[in-house]
Amino acid sequence: MFFLNIIMESDKRIVFLDTSRAMAMFLVAFAHLYSGESQERLYIYAFHMPFFFLVSGMLHKRHHIVSSIVENAQRLLIPTLSFIFITFIVARLFYGWHLIPFAMTCWEGGVQSWGFPLNGVVWFLIALFYVKVLIDIFLWNRLLALVLWGGLFYLGLNFINPFFLCSGMMAFPMYWAGMRGKKSFIYLSSISWVKWLFPFFFIISISLTLINGKVSMIAHDFGKASVPYNIILFYVNGFIGSLGLLCLSFFFKKPYGVVTKVAMSLISIVGLQQLFINVYDVYADGALRLSYFYTIPVTIVIIALCCVCHKIIDTFLPFMLGKNIRPQIRRFLDWTYEVVCKHLPLQRKIVFDNFGGRGMGDDPKYIALYIKEHHPDIKLIWLLADMNTPMPAGITPVFIYSRTARYHLYTARIWVDNIKNFKKTPKRKGQFYLQTWHDCISGLKRSEARIEILLNEEYVKAAKFDASITDLMYSDNDLTKSIFENYHWYHGEVVKCDKPRVSILLNFPIGLRKKVLNYFGIYHEKKIVLYAPTCRSSNDTSIFVWNYEEVIRLLSSKFGGDFVMLLRLHPIFAKMSNNLRYSEKVISASAYPDMQELLAVSDVLISDYSGCMLEYAITRKPVFAYGADLEKYINDERGLIFELEELPFKISTSETNLCQSILEYNETDYFTKLSSFYKKIGFEDTGDGCQQVSELLLEHISK
pLDDT tens track for 49-86: 999 999 999 989 888 888 889 888 888 988 888 887 88
Rounded Cα distance, 207 and 380, in Å: 81
Binned at pLDDT 50, 70 and 90, residue 7 comes out as: very low
Q: Which long-range contacts (CB under 8 A, 24 or more apart) does 580-585 make?
A: 580/541, 580/544, 580/545, 581/545, 581/548, 583/548, 583/549, 585/548, 585/549, 585/552
What pLDDT score was predicted for residue 199?
A: 94
Q: Are 110 and 118 in contact (CB under 8 A)?
A: yes
Do 560 and 513 lie in one domain? The reply is: yes
Rounded Cα distance, 14 and 7, in Å: 5
Do 444 and 515 lie in one domain? The reply is: no
Domain span at residue 134 reads 3-321
Number of separate domains in the chain: 3
List C-alpha distances in Å: 417 to 319, 367, 437.
38, 11, 7
Question: What distance, in Å, lies between the first and last C-alpha atoms of the chain?
Answer: 78
- Annotate 378-415 with DSSP letters as a single string: SEEEEEES-TTS---TTEEEEETTSHHHHHHHHHEEEE
What pLDDT score was predicted for residue 535?
A: 79
Do 202 and 144 lie in one domain? The reply is: yes
Do 194 and 316 lie in one domain? The reply is: yes
List C-alpha distances in Å: 429 to 304, 451, 575, 695.
54, 33, 38, 21
Within-domain flag for 700: no
Neighbours of 644 (CB within 10 A): 11
User: Tens of pLDDT along 80-92?
Assistant: 888 878 877 777 7
Binned at pLDDT 50, 70 and 90, residue 407 comes out as: very high
7 Rama sector, left if φ>0, alpha if ψ -120 to 50, beta otherwise: beta
Binned at pLDDT 50, 70 and 90, residue 622 comes out as: very high
Do 24 and 137 lie in one domain? The reply is: yes
User: Residue 180 corresponds to which amino acid?
Assistant: R
Binned at pLDDT 50, 70 and 90, residue 130 comes out as: very high
What pLDDT score was predicted for residue 323?
A: 80
Hey, what's the torsion of the CAs at 11, 311, 15, 183, to 10 degrees?
80
Within-domain flag for 405: yes
- Residue 662's closest CA among 507, 551, 524? 551
Q: What does the chain come to in residues?
A: 703
Do 516 and 493 lie in one domain? The reply is: no
Query: For the chain, what is the largest distance between any 2 Cα atoms, rounded to a whole number of angstroms?
Result: 116
* Angle, CA 433 vertex, CA 452 and CA 344 arms, to 5°: 130
Q: Is the pLDDT of residue 110 over 50?
A: no
Do 259 and 343 lie in one domain? The reply is: no
- For 389-400, what is the mean pLDDT? 93
Do 447 and 315 lie in one domain? The reply is: no
What pLDDT score was predicted for residue 8?
A: 34
Mean pLDDT of the chain: 86
Q: In what order do the strands lie in the sheet with 412-417?
A: 395-399, 379-384, 347-352, 412-417, 432-435, 472-475, 493-496
Within-domain flag for 68: yes
Within-domain flag for 330: no
What pLDDT score was predicted for residue 290?
A: 65
Binned at pLDDT 50, 70 and 90, residue 337 comes out as: confident
Rounded Cα distance, 693 and 703, in Å: 17
Do 557 and 620 lie in one domain? The reply is: yes
- For 565-582, what is the mean pLDDT? 81
CATH of the domain at 568: 3.40.50.12580
Within-domain flag for 702: no
User: Tens of pLDDT along 292-303?
Assistant: 778 888 899 999
CATH of the domain at 430: 3.40.50.11820
Rounded Cα distance, 273 and 283, in Å: 16
What pLDDT score was predicted for residue 645?
A: 74
Last residue of a domain, one of 457, 484, 502: 502
Do 405 and 514 lie in one domain? The reply is: no
- For 667-696, what is the mean pLDDT? 91
Within-domain flag for 667: yes
Binned at pLDDT 50, 70 and 90, residue 542 comes out as: confident
Within-domain flag for 224: yes
Task: Tell me which of 498 and 110 has the higher pLDDT.
Answer: 498
Do 492 and 523 lie in one domain? The reply is: no
Binned at pLDDT 50, 70 and 90, residue 35 comes out as: low
Rounded Cα distance, 29 and 290, in Å: 14
What pLDDT score was predicted for residue 2?
A: 33
Do 404 and 533 lie in one domain? The reply is: no
Task: Tell me which of 41 and 140 has the higher pLDDT.
Answer: 140
Within-domain flag for 656: yes
